[in-house]
Amino acid sequence: MAAIYSGISLKLKSSKTAWEDKLKLAHFAWISHQCFLPNKEQVLLDWARHSLVTYYKKKLELKEDIVERLWIYLDNILHSRKLQNLIKNGKTVNLHFSLAKIINERIAEFSASDAQRNVCAVLSCCQGILSMPALAIIYTAKHELILELLNELCWLACRHPEGTFISHLFEVLHLAFSQYLLIQRQQVNPNRVFGEVIGHLFQPCLVLRHLLSVGTWTQCDQGRVRQYLSREVRNQIELVIQGGVFQPELLSSYKEELLLKEQSKDKKKEAIKNILTPTNTMINKLVDVGSCEPSLHVTVVASSVSLLYKLFLDSYSKEENQLVCFHLLPKLFDCLRISCLPDEQVEALSLSDWTNELLVVEQLLNLVANNNIYNVAADRIRHKEIQFQFYRQLAELLIKHSQASVPAWFRCLKNLISLNHLIVEPDLDDLVASAWIDAEVTEPRTKKSQEALINALFQTYAKLRQVPRLFEEVLGVICRPAAEHLRQPVLTLNLTVVLRDCLMELPPNQILDTWSLLLEKCQTFVLPYVKGDSDMALKLRSLSLLLHGILFSMRCLDSGTPLPVVKRTQQVMEKMLQEVIQPMLDLLSNYQSRTSKLDLWLEKVRDSALLLSYTWAEIDTMLNLNCRQYVPVVGAVTDISSESLSLSSFLADPGIHISEDVEPLMVVLFNQLLVESTTEEFQMIMQHILQGLEISNIWRPDRNDILSAIKLIKLLLKCRSDGEKIRSFWVVCPQIISALTFLNKEACQDQSLLLTVVVPILDTVASLLRQGESIIKNPHHVSLAFGILLAVPLDHLKPQEYSSIFLGIHEALFSILQCHSKVMLKALPSFLNSFYRLVFSVMHEGRQKDKGNTEDLTIVLECARLVERMYSHIAAKSEDFTMFSSFMVAQYVNELQKVTLYPAVKNLLKEGIYLILDLCIERDIHFLRTSLQPGVREVFKELYNDYIKYHKNKNRGEGKYTA
């Protein structure tokens, strides 16, 4: 038998044998045990390799499909168990370097063009070679071949990210990097390794790492494998760069190059002759577009800058190397466009460009801080403030080109302040303006970063005991000419908390200096010009809110306070009353009789006067209670009260808009009003409320009359509930509910009024109903509330409208459930109808859609939580709802059958309906099983099984559910 096949070798080499036959013979020879050739495996491998090499050298003409089958044949051999066993058993199998060369050339071809025939077979051959050390020697013995391979593999991935072969490619990359890293660690010549990495791998590796970092391949098939390989390859890239560009042996070269300026002239000349310049070589390679797409190149440079600095610090950061570690920073920073472009081009950069580059600057500054690169004293004493000057220039650039919509911009400035507050102090006024007072920040993440920066300012200047210095700049910015109505409130809730924490620790004189400064600015720059000027009036309001925040944040004086501090406090209190509050009250008194409706400037002056009067009176009371040396200003509190009362006809005017930030003060004043005003004055307020709720007001272009009436009702509901005058308000409450019913019906016809009128009506109805059966005695008026709730639309709403309206209806229903149980028992169908509108609405909005965003789903989840909560409250009143429990379950499953809900929404609703199933007795369950339609019955069956499995069994033994 052996003789029959002995001519195979000659036939494979013969030009007379057809290639189809050669391939069949070669395949047969490899798999057959009956074919005996001396050194058969080596002969067949050499034949396949030689055929391909000869073809690609253009010395042999072959059809494309023959070439393809040759690659597949070679691949099958390389991956065969037979070859692996031979090698494992010690047989020597050699591959020629020419095979590595043609593999590299093919990968380069695939990378450079869209023609990718045989790509999978070539990559598979490469993988087979690299995964066996005995074969991988054709790459590892010649550095240039493995370097060339890695270079081409990286570019192939970068240029064809959508390729079907990408999974295979990453496996080959992983193997190739592993082999190269072994070689790199064994090299003894650091300069040669540096040259290899910079020359062959630096740019393609950085491009590939960038694409991996931005998640280019995370959405592909086999996501888990890809994520693991992506992470591994990314780590390997960093190891290759660190092991090549930042070797320990190169530190002396970096020092000589980067610290040249520090050396004497003679040493400098000598150094330049001998020096290897790794920094310049690396940076020139980084900024060179090379083979990279120009638009991609700029983002690759940006994302590489912080990586290179991190790797440099990982290699060389020790205390004695602080200076050389710093000197690389400006050179890398200059690679960013915000540093190297002219001003007008920097201005023209897009928001995404700024975002990318500022994230890099933030990372650089974090690295400086975490590695203790900047020592303020050492920099000033030993190094002529070279670091300080760089950070100053960076701060100037950031403040000059304000980017208040980018969270990283705020974080960069915060990091600079953390390094040394003097870095930003020369530009403190512009920083305060662009990052705080004039910044238009609404997006929550950006707001958080902004508040962290302002917090850092507060903390820093509090520690330095220079709070007046900070507020001098803040007040200067507030007093600058500006479109005041566009400015956001000076102090958010979070900033008020931060301010309080800082000011509580300050010595009294720091507070008194800041307080005096604020009064002086009000007195000098604002009050003289406020008349008729709404911008000035808004400035006055900002200053008043700031002063209120500061005074309510300071630690109160006590009997142990030194007398000079007490006396100074007394003087500042008198100044505030006489020179700031009194002029405002006088201004308001002068206009009291002249106008029935306040202009904007007068409204804001009134807000400021109320706020500061209230603040002054509170502080005066606190000082009087806690500090026996303090002497209250005689008669001042009655004066302020009397002045506040003289504003009552303004407050009662339906045309006046009451700002939310003065609402707590209004409650205080209204309580005072109930005590000190006459019955006639209070009746006038009641009359204005009822006039404001007249139906004709809804058809006017300006609905302020309605809104003011609603706000006055809310204020009165927050006042003390006893006394003759407030009783006259309780008497008209049913009348108010009736008026609100008609207004609501009309307002619901116009979608533009949903947020401005309908939601406040719902809030007011809920507040009125919460007063209980002792105030709303007539069941008819409670029943009217159901009419209001059923009239409000729940479909075709914007997310914010939906959220607010849903909450409004829920709160009103909850008020009825908790505070009007007698009425609810008589009107259970109306209650359940109103509630089931909410349930069906959540099911409709919570169904799985083709499109939708997470914000919408977040709102729906909040509403689903409210539904779950209402189910729990209904279950807690089990005796009232037992007879309706089966109908409630039936309504739920009927609706559930029509939609596919998001799992998170479904889970919340299920938790609620389980509590209603708790109320069902066996008869109810039997009724549901028999009476429901077939499709709905299946939905109920699944629900009931889940209920038994996950809820009933789990809760058994816990007793009856209580909310």
Q: Please write the tens of the pLDDT for every residue from 919-952.
A: 999 999 999 999 999 889 999 999 999 999 888 8
Over residues 845-851, mean pLDDT: 78
Token code pair at residue 235: 């780590």
Q: Closest Cα to residue 665, out of 720, 712, 611?
A: 611
For residues 285 and 257, the answer to whether their CB atoms sit within 8 Å is no
CA distance 585 to 605: 9
Q: 479 in a domain, yes or no?
A: no
Q: 140 in a domain, yes or no?
A: yes
> pLDDT class for 660, splitting at 50, 70, 90?
low
> pLDDT class for 99, splitting at 50, 70, 90?
very high
Q: Closest Cα to residue 129, out of 186, 24, 45, 39?
A: 45
CA distance 143 to 423: 49
**Is the per-residue pLDDT at 837 higher than 80?**
yes
3-state secondary structure of 317: coil
| Domain total in the chain | 2
pLDDT of res. 274? 52
Q: Closest Cα to residue 556, out of 494, 613, 611, 500?
A: 500
Q: Closest Cα to residue 514, out of 478, 561, 467, 552?
A: 467
- Tokens 């200067």 found at: 476
pLDDT of res. 658? 53
Q: Which residue has the higher pLDDT, 672 or 785?
A: 785
Lowest mean pLDDT among 174-178, 440-444, 866-870: 440-444
Q: 825 in a domain, yes or no?
A: no
pLDDT of res. 583? 94
Lowest mean pLDDT among 383-387, 563-567, 682-686, 781-785: 682-686
> pLDDT class for 708, splitting at 50, 70, 90?
confident
Q: 81 in a domain, yes or no?
A: yes
For residues 723 and 679, the answer to whether their CB atoms sit within 8 Å is no
**Is the per-residue pLDDT at 654 higher than 50?**
no
For residues 507 and 465, the answer to whether their CB atoms sit within 8 Å is yes
Lowest mean pLDDT among 79-93, 585-599, 756-770: 585-599
pLDDT of res. 603? 85
**Is the per-residue pLDDT at 908 higher than 80?**
yes
Q: 222 in a domain, yes or no?
A: yes
pLDDT of res. 674? 73
> pLDDT class for 961, splitting at 50, 70, 90?
very low
pLDDT of res. 493? 82
- Tokens 């092991």 found at: 243
Q: How many CA atoms lie within 13 A of 536 on its CB side?
A: 15
- Tokens 């003060």 found at: 665
Class of residue 248 by CB neighbours under 10 A (exposed 0-12, middle 13-18, buried 19+):
exposed
CA distance 276 to 198: 13
Q: Domain range spanning residue 127?
A: 8-246
Over residues 415-420, mean pLDDT: 97
For residues 423 and 379, the answer to whether their CB atoms sit within 8 Å is no
Compute CA distances 812 → 336, 768, 806, whole Å. Answer: 57, 9, 10
**Is the per-residue pLDDT at 652 higher than 50?**
no
pLDDT of res. 2? 45
- Please, what sign has the CA dihedral across residues 740, 746, 749, 750? negative
Listed residues 214, 246, 278: the one ending a domain:
246
pLDDT of res. 190? 94
Lowest mean pLDDT among 49-63, 142-156, 157-171, 253-267: 253-267
Global pTM? 0.71
pLDDT in tens, 626-651: 899 998 776 555 866 585 546 547 45
For residues 519 and 544, the answer to whether their CB atoms sit within 8 Å is no
CA distance 257 to 269: 12
CA distance 834 to 820: 15
**Is the per-residue pLDDT at 97 higher than 90?**
yes
Q: 598 in a domain, yes or no?
A: no
Token code pair at residue 78: 């390389």
What percent of the chain stands above pLDDT 70?
91
* Residue 132: other Cβ atoms inside 10 A: 17
Listed residues 184, 216, 246: the one ending a domain:
246
Listed residues 246, 267, 290: the one ending a domain:
246
Q: Closest Cα to residue 421, out of 376, 485, 361, 468?
A: 376
**Is the per-residue pLDDT at 591 higher than 90?**
no
**Is the per-residue pLDDT at 364 higher than 80?**
yes
**Residue partners of 125: CB distance under 8 A and separation at least 6:** 71, 74, 75, 78, 103
pLDDT of res. 723? 74
Q: 117 in a domain, yes or no?
A: yes
**Is the per-residue pLDDT at 412 higher than 70?**
yes
Q: 529 in a domain, yes or no?
A: no
pLDDT in tens, 477-517: 999 998 888 888 898 888 988 898 899 889 999 999 999 99
Mean of per-residue pLDDT scores for the chain: 88
